[in-house]
Chains A and B, each alone.
Chain A
Amino acid sequence: AQSVTQLGSHVSVSEGALVLLRCNYSSSVPPYLFWYVQYPNQGLQLLLKYTSAATLVKGINDFEAEFKKSETSFHLTKPSAHMSDAAEYFCAVSGYSGGYNKLIFGAGTRLAVHP
């Protein structure tokens, strides 16, 4: 069965600093992986997704993630944090359960950005 672990429920960075949010997955088949962002009082928006094309995936707002099969990781990075990046971030993997495809979400990482 597929699963996702996000390391660190809270991450705090200074404005301009590197953002690194960690995600490890477990999957018995080649995975489809996603990062979603949730801004305060809003729904989830797709940041980026890995669908077995390039291992380095670029998303919106200068975020990117690298798929590393050997490490079963899909960490999210951004070179320079902005105040507007403060949000909750969810990593997810597509998986089959009960015969149907579902998304399995991690518990989320809340990113705080300080001036």
Chain B
Amino acid sequence: NAGVTQTPKFRVLKTGQSMTLLCAQDMNHEYMYWYRQDPGMGLRLIHYSVGEGTTAKGEVPDGYNVSRLKKQNFLLGLESAAPSQTSVYFCASSYPTYAGENEQYFGPGTRLTVT
């Protein structure tokens, strides 16, 4: 049981280049999330998905796109990278209860630098 995995772990991009970050979970969770973490700003939600084939915008979605073609995978795309997207990206998954509990399980992160 690997939990939540992310690839790649590190990446350096030049401004304008594109890339896709892959998140995979083996816990059969319905919900998946992409966050970015920047110094002093905590975690900010980029996009999330509440099930296969569905995605929604979070707090900071501009410049990113996502897809959830399979329940276990959640892809985050940067079409034209900008230096402002230099950050650490975390994927998470969860199975919220009807009552509202939402314990999330996190991947190890992807450190992205855009020059």
Contacts and interface: CB of A to CB of B under 8 A. Distances in A.
A107 B43 CA distance: 7
B45 A107 contact: no
Given A43-B108, A45-B106, A102 B45 contact: yes
Contact of B42 (A32, A46, A94, A105): A105
Given A43-B90, A100-B48, A107 B103 contact: no
A51 B102 CA distance: 10
B60 to A, nearest CB: 13
Contact of A44 (B41, B56, B102, B106): B106
Interface string B81-115: 00000000010101010011111111111000000
A26 B96 CA distance: 20
Interface string A92-115: 001010101111011110000000
B107 A43 contact: yes
Main secondary structure of the interface of A (DSSP, over half): strand
A90 interface: yes
Nearest to B107: A43
Contacts of A100: 31, 48, 50, 56
Given A42-B108, A105-B43, A32 B102 contact: yes
Contacts of A41: 109
Interface size range of chain A in the complex: 20 to 34
Interface in B29-52: 31, 33, 40-43, 45, 48, 50
Interface residues of B, number: 27
A79 to B, nearest CB: 25
Interface in A49-70: 49, 51
Interface string A27-44: 001001010100001111
Interface of B: 4, 31, 33, 40-43, 45, 48, 50, 56, 58, 90, 92, 94, 96, 99-109
Interface of A: 9, 29, 32, 34, 36, 41-46, 49, 51, 90, 94, 96, 98, 100-103, 105-108
28 contacts: A9-B40, A32-B102, A36-B106, A42-B108, A42-B109, A43-B90, A43-B108, A43-B109, A44-B43, A44-B92, A45-B106, A46-B103, A49-B103, A51-B101, A90-B43, A94-B96, A94-B100, A94-B101, A96-B100, A98-B56, A100-B50, A101-B96, A102-B33, A102-B48, A103-B102, A105-B43, A106-B42, A107-B41
